[in-house]
Amino acid sequence: MELIVKEESKTDYNYGSDPYKRDIKTLLNTGLVVIDKPSGPTSHEVAAWVRNMLNLVKAGHGGTLDPKVTGALPVALGNTTKCVPIWHIPPKEYVCLMHLHDDAKLEDIENIFKEFTGRIHQRPPLKAAVKRSLRIRKIYEIEILEIDGRDILFRTKCQSGTYLRKLVDDMGEALGTSAHMQELRRTISGPFYENEAVYLQDLLDAYIFWKEDGNEEELRKLVKPLEYGLQHLKKIIVKDSAVDAVCHGATLYSSGVSKIEKGIGTDEVVLIETLKGEAVAVGKPLMNTKDMLKTEEGEVVEITRVIMEPGIYPRIWKKRNKNDKTKAESKKK
């Protein structure tokens, strides 16, 4: 990440804090944990277990896995649930075991896998909790890892919302043998990786160590601040004076910007951060990095989702009229 300074600015340490130095109670309500989901429970059940385990009011998962599917399941804790839609922006990666219902030639299998790379059409399966309309999804990569008789082990990197079970069914039909998904494991879920996923029991043990012994070291290793799940977004760093206005849904103006990440375009989502590294909001850039650096006034980012609660930083802005306030409030929902 390369940040370009637009205007040097200092932060006041009487307000806000370094995300990685938040007290443990605040961390639990503004953090996340990546669970290694076991086979059996639904994703909703796992999120509910985490919520009850950590004695939270709410928790939500970042991407449904069928009960039998295992792997990386990010769980948003407390107020971090508002970040879940942002986790779906990057691709996801799976390792899948596909079983053919008849014999097939290696050459035919390889050709079918090539055909299913790129943009594909999918209709969600009957059991899906979404409307069964035809949709386009992108398969970025698909690689055969091993073939043993009629069993094919493969890895795929795909767009969020791709149904792997349906992908296997469609490839089997195209191959002329028919097929079904025998096993599936998610290895990457947006910005989260399998190797950082933790077992539910380990999370419970770490929580008990803190509650009973006052030792929060293990719990801090497992629970990450919400900013950890937003690292995939390009950043715009704002001055302390602009933070509270953005927290109320106000559009970000050029005068409030301190630093800008190189390479920002108008077709992406950007993260608005404080000088201490705290996530304030996400939004749509109204100009690229080069133009943001040049402009001395005017709007630079339209805020689409507010993350930080208002009142953490001092209010240094004028009240707007009622219509502007209504528009800002809609961005916070």
128-144 pLDDT, tens digit per residue, is 656 667 889 999 999 99
1 falls within a domain: no
pLDDT at position 330? 55
Return the percentage of the chain with pLDDT > 70, whole number: 93
Q: Are residues 207 and 138 in the same domain?
A: no
- Quick one: three-class SS letters along the chain? CCEEECCCCCCCCCCCCCHHHCCHHHHHHCEEEEEEECCCCCHHHHHHHHHHHCCCCCEEECCCCCCCCEEEEEEEEHHHHHHHHHHCCCCEEEEEEEEECCCCCHHHHHHHHHHCCEEEEECCCCCCCCCCCCEEEEEEEEEEEEEECCEEEEEEEECCCCCHHHHHHHHHHHHCCCEEEEEEEEEEECCEEHHHCECHHHHHHHHHHHHHHCCCHHHHHHCEEHHHHHCCCEEEEECHHHHHHHHCCCCEEHHHEEEEECCCCCCCCEEEECCCCCEEEEEEECCCHHHHHHCCCCEEEEEEEECCCCCCCCCCCCCCCHHHHHHHHHHCC
Number of domains the chain contains: 3
Kindly state the average pLDDT of the residues 56-64. Answer: 95
**Domain contains 13:** no
pTM as predicted: 0.89
Q: Is 257 a member of any domain? A: yes
pLDDT exceeds cutoff 80 at 318: no
Q: For the segment 82-106, what is each residue's pLDDT rounded down to a tens digit?
A: 999 999 999 999 999 999 999 999 9
The verdict on 25 and 113 lying in the same domain is no
Would you state the pLDDT for residue 124? 77
Identify whether residues 157 and 221 lie together within a single domain.
no
Looking at the structure, do residues 74 and 223 belong to the same domain, yes or no? yes
Q: Is residue 173 included in any domain, yes or no? A: yes
The enclosing domain of 104 has a CATH number of 3.30.70.3190
Q: What pLDDT sits at residue 133?
A: 79
pLDDT, mean over the chain: 93
| Residues 205, 259 share a domain | no
Q: Over the stretch 284-314, which tens digit does the pLDDT of each residue have?
A: 999 999 999 999 889 999 999 999 999 999 9
CATH code of the domain covering residue 73: 3.30.2350.10
Domain of 279 in residue numbering reads as 233-331
State the catalytic residues: 66
* Model confidence pLDDT, tens digit, residues 176-206: 999 999 999 999 999 999 999 999 999 999 9
| Residue 323 domain-assigned (yes or no) | yes
CATH of the domain at 242: 2.30.130.10
